[in-house]
A and B are shown apart, each in its own frame.
Chain A
Amino acid sequence: MQEINHTGSRTTRLLGAAVIVGLVALVLLGWFVAPEDDDQQDAVRMIFVHVPSAIWTYIAFVTTAIGSVMWLVRRSVWWDTVAAAAAEIGVLFCGLTLFTGSVWGRPTWNTYWDWGDVRLVTTLILFLMMIGYLSVRSLGGPESATATRAAIVGVMAAAILPIVNRSVEWWENNTLHQKSSLTDGNLEDMTLFTLVVGLIVWGLFFWWAILHRFRIAWLEREIRSSDLDRALVERRAEGEPGASPLEERV
């Protein structure tokens, strides 16, 4: 068998190539083809990176929640690994959502951040909860206990997803944030098309990243398992007659 020293595969290479092509198309469409907005002028072009990051944040954290439930109910290691992989990518996307939203807010709302804005604050809480999820996973200890603790945090974080998503409707007087760009029907055709391209590109990247991250997590599990096997063999060897200095003296 040919020696392989990477976590890539034919699927990830195809996805990676599609992401590169898609990003080039997105830059061309987003910067040079999509029209400026009557109110926001060219600041509206931030929508093409902000909204895909936000929507794939939701998808990543829902994936984490599903994986967490599957761990809690069925003790599925495969699902637990999927949950962890999706959480890391979700935190990346959520951080980008907060950052690009903040940068977009300055020219449109005249502020980078507003602590009274429900959408902003709930998104920040979600971000911090998922950082907590990753922290719990990195604490160490028995794998089963770590997975269970992380799964509980993952499910709790998912429980506030509807609040984050619906906050602009439920507290419309307490937010600077506009309602859903995709569903309000106010986007120009080319703006909407470019936004859909952005969503597809982010989706392709999400699948590329989750495949690699899953494989990395699986390899880490294998290494921990090998280390444990080796430690057990060494321990047994120490217990055999003649192996221990104490027994030699006896």
Chain B
Amino acid sequence: MTHVGYLLVGWGTTFAVGLVYTATLLRRGRRLTARVPADRRRWMTAEDT
């Protein structure tokens, strides 16, 4: 296989950035959800857990 270094940098950065963004979204969501009363989280119901 040719150009493996370029491919690893391109694919690796894409996956790493996606992973970090995913983790950031989940962490922000958890932190903010804890601060809002359940009745004001309009999309969240016990059936949808």
Of residues 1 to 15 in B, which have CB atoms within 8 Å of A's CB atoms?
Answer: 1-4, 6-7, 9-11, 13-15
Over the window 13-30 of chain B, the binary record of Cβ atoms lying under 8 Å from chain A Cβ atoms (1 yes, 0 no) is: 111011001100110111
Q: Can you show 30 pairs from A to B with CB atoms below 8 A apart?
A: A1-B38, A1-B45, A1-B46, A4-B41, A4-B49, A5-B33, A6-B26, A6-B30, A6-B33, A7-B26, A7-B33, A8-B26, A8-B29, A10-B48, A10-B49, A42-B2, A42-B3, A43-B6, A45-B7, A95-B17, A107-B3, A107-B6, A212-B26, A212-B29, A215-B29, A215-B43, A216-B28, A216-B29, A216-B32, A226-B36
B28 to chain A, nearest CB (A): 5
Specify which of B6, B21, B30 is in contact with A5 (CB 8 Å cutoff): B30
Chain B residues bordering chain A, tally (CB within 8 A): 36
Chain B CB count within 10 A is highest, among A5, A9, A218, for A5
CB <8 Å contact, B2 and A43: yes
A230 to chain B, nearest CB (A): 12
CB <8 Å contact, B41 and A9: no
* A8-B29, A96-B17 as given contacts; A223 in contact with B35, CB under 8 Å: yes
